[in-house]
Amino acid sequence: MDVAITGSSGLIGRALTRHLTDAGHRVLRLVRSGEGADTARWDPDAGTIDAGALQGIDAVVHLAGEGIAEKRWSPEQKARIRSSRVNGTTLLSTTLATLSNPPATFLSGSAIGFYGDTGDRAVDESAPAGTDFLASVCVDWEAATSAAEDAGIRTVHLRTGIVLSPDGGALGKQLPLFKLGLGGRAGSGRQYQSWISLDDEVRAITWLLTSARSGPVNLTAPNPVTNAEFTKALGRALHRPTTITPMAGPRLLLGRELADSLLLASQRILPAALEADGFTFSHPALDGALADLLR
């Protein structure tokens, strides 16, 4: 299979590229700069893309976008977060729709931020969108695939949860503190966290490349945990005590809106579509996932 990937230099993109290549597939990386074998140029800001390189490709996996927690959420940064997702997706979607030999499949990134704060309520793909900033970004992000969908390309929205890897993401940032015994729960700790191991994230995306499913798919493990449960599990895995993380520090560093969205919002999200499709998780439970990741 020939698969084009955007965001191939990110945590998920690197792992997916390696996994597909090792399995014998050809990966075409869409990059903003640089040259090399199996690369093609695109620039979402400028609205340019090497459409010819996508002719005859079997599938496109779109993972590119400005990091949510890279900077404090100023109005300008919020605009960059939204435009990096909407503009890039629109460019890809409209380009694929005009190809004479388009891909059969378009897997486009999204996030469980679509649902907003769900509190204690467990939700699946049938739940409506939330009303906060991240939810509105996800709504616009997913709507930007419409040209590809209208052209008959099977389109999947990858609503990804917290991806666990010691090499980056949320876990990568937490590990130094937790290894020192300084990690702890945020706030009450009752807020839910919907997570997935990097291995299962990559396996799920690979599964969806050849599945018949379209529409939203939650990429989360089937057993979300509270922040307090996650904190205790990570402490056990590292054989370190845990404490409480005062919110004053993260709020000062990141700003209140971003810090509260990352640490206090509760999202109890279930992977109903993946399970109905027959996908089996390698890491359905947090303790086993952390033991595997941190050994």
CATH of residue 39's domain is 3.40.50.720
How does strand 122-123 pair with strand 268-269? parallel
Q: Bridge partners of 245?
A: 186
Q: Report pLDDT for 36.
A: 75
Q: Rounded distance, CA 164 to CA 213, Å?
A: 25
Domain count, the chain: 1
Residues of the chain with pLDDT under 70: none
Query: Residue 291 falls within a domain, yes or no?
Result: no
Please enumerate in sequence order all residues whose Cβ is within 8 A of that of 81, keeping only pairs 6 or more positions apart, or say none.
65, 66, 68, 73, 137
Query: Residue 215 falls within a domain, yes or no?
Result: yes
Q: Report pLDDT for 96.
A: 98
- Look-up: residue for tokens 């906060």? 132
Q: For the whole model, what pTM was predicted?
A: 0.96
Query: Residue 253 falls within a domain, yes or no?
Result: no
What residues make up the domain containing 100? 2-163+196-220+269-281
HSE-up (13 A, CA, CB side) for residue 294: 21
CA dihedral 244, 239, 268, 121 (to 10 degrees): -60
Give the H or E element holding residue 101: none
Query: Residue 233 falls within a domain, yes or no?
Result: no
Query: Residue 65 falls within a domain, yes or no?
Result: yes
261 and 134 in contact (C-beta within 8 Å)? Answer: yes
Q: Report pLDDT for 37.
A: 79
Furthest CA-CA distance within the chain: 59
Q: Report pLDDT for 117.
A: 97
Q: Report pLDDT for 216.
A: 98
For 35-85, write each residue's pLDDT tens digit.
Answer: 777 999 999 999 999 999 999 999 999 999 998 988 999 999 999 999 999
Q: Report pLDDT for 295.
A: 87
Query: Residue 229 falls within a domain, yes or no?
Result: no
Query: Residue 185 falls within a domain, yes or no?
Result: no
Q: Report pLDDT for 113.
A: 97
Query: Residue 46 falls within a domain, yes or no?
Result: yes
HSE-up (13 A, CA, CB side) for residue 147: 17
